[in-house]
């Protein structure tokens, strides 16, 4: 499957771990990677990937490692190129973005993260509080940018807005 389709599917994935065959290993992207790291207590050796404007975080596992992890689990499906299983834990959007944040482009300029000068927030390196606020704004913007509004149902959109509100209140 094309990487763009995988990453698009991961945007709304809140219940499954999907592993995709790539060369001699299996990869889990974004939400699936978070589920795997969180559920299995894996050493977090995540990597950041930017491909054609899609930013993602992924983990790679060998056949042997994946077989050991999945042995006691009831799988949803296993195919030659994909393994899909119930995540077994609830999706915590705030925990996911905290986990993903070290992989975000921290050194990026405002123009890299915001599509125009009118939308760019006033970034400043004056204080650690301001830097934390800048990071929170970047995470918030990334969440909004990653959400596929056109493909989401009204219920999913309402839940997304609720999650954004929770994120802002917790920040």
pLDDT tens-digit map of 3-58: 888 888 888 899 999 999 988 889 999 999 999 989 888 876 667 666 555 567 88
Structure tokens at 40: 């299995």
| pLDDT score for 12 | 86
Q: Can you give the residue ranges of every domain in the chain?
A: 1-91, 104-171
| pLDDT score for 17 | 92
Side-chain half-sphere CA neighbours of 116 within 13 A: 2
Q: How confident is the model at residue 83 (pLDDT cuts 50, 70, 90)?
A: very high
Residue 24: left if φ>0, alpha if ψ -120 to 50, beta else—which one? alpha
Q: What gap in Å lies between CA 165 and CA 171, rounded to an integer?
A: 10
| pLDDT score for 32 | 94
pTM of whole model > 0.85? Answer: no
| DSSP bridge pairs for 28 | 59
Highest mean pLDDT among 60-64, 97-101, 118-122, 154-158: 60-64
Q: What gap in Å lies between CA 20 and CA 26, rounded to an integer?
A: 5
Q: What gap in Å lies between CA 115 and CA 111, rounded to an integer?
A: 6
Q: What gap in Å lies between CA 153 and CA 96, rounded to an integer?
A: 22
Q: In this structure, how many other beta carbons lie within 10 angstroms of the beta carbon of residue 59?
A: 21
**Residue bearing the bigger pLDDT, 21 or 114:** 21
- Burial of 34: CB neighbours in 10 Å, binned 0-12, 13-18, 19+: buried
Check whether 131 has a pLDDT greater than 60. Answer: no
Check whether 104 has a pLDDT greater than 80. Answer: no
Q: What gap in Å lies between CA 40 and CA 37, rounded to an integer?
A: 6
Give SS3 for 166: helix
């Amino acid at each position: 499957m094309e990487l763009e389709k995988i990453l698009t599917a991961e945007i709304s994935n809140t219940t499954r771990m999907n592993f995709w065959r790539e060369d001699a290993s299996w990869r889990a992207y974004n939400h699936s990677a978070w589920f795997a790291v969180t559920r299995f207590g894996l050493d977090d050796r995540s990597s950041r990937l930017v491909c054609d404007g899609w930013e993602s975080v992924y983990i790679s596992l060998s056949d042997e490692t994946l077989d050991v992890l999945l042995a006691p689990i009831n799988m949803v499906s296993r195919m030659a190129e994909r393994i899909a299983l119930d995540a077994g834990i609830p999706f915590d959007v705030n925990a996911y973005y905290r986990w993903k944040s070290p992989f975000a482009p921290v050194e990026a300029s405002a123009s890299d993260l915001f599509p125009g000068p009118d939308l760019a927030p006033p970034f400043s390196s004056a204080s650690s509080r301001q830097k934390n606020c800048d990071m929170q704004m970047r995470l918030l913007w990334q969440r909004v940018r990653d959400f596929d509004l056109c493909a989401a149902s009204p219920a999913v959109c309402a839940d997304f807005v609720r999650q954004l509100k929770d994120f802002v209140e917790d920040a």
